Amino acid sequence: MQDQTSRIAAQLLRAALAHFDSERQNALAVLDVYLHKPTAISDHSQLVQEIVKATQRLAEAEDSIEALERHFLSSGSPPIEEQENGE
């Protein structure tokens, strides 16, 4: 049962990391277009606001990835099953 719990926890962690990496990649792509090809944007009046939003999404995704890595993937962290049992 412990192995199955560990396997499920690892799958969930990988899925969460993949989600945040996707968000990060999306924000980087948007910023690349906004900053390097602003002529591709039809409404320049909102460009700065859109750059701010994309930057915030990028920072949030990177912070989330770092938090998961720090708490669940760092060498000093106890394995996930130990954290669940309060050990």
Predicted structure pTM score? 0.76
CA-CA distance, 73 to 38, in Å (whole number)? 39
- The candidate with the shortest Cα–Cα distance to 84, out of 12, 15, 5, is 5
Q: What is the pLDDT of residues 11-50, one digit of tens each?
A: 999 999 999 999 999 999 999 998 998 776 667 778 889 8
Distances 47 to 10, 41, 44, 54 between C-alpha atoms, Å: 39, 8, 5, 11
Per-domain boundaries in the chain: 2-84
Quote the tokens at residue 44: 């320049």
Of the two residues 16 and 87, the one the predictor is more confident about is 16
pLDDT at position 63: 98
pLDDT at position 61: 98
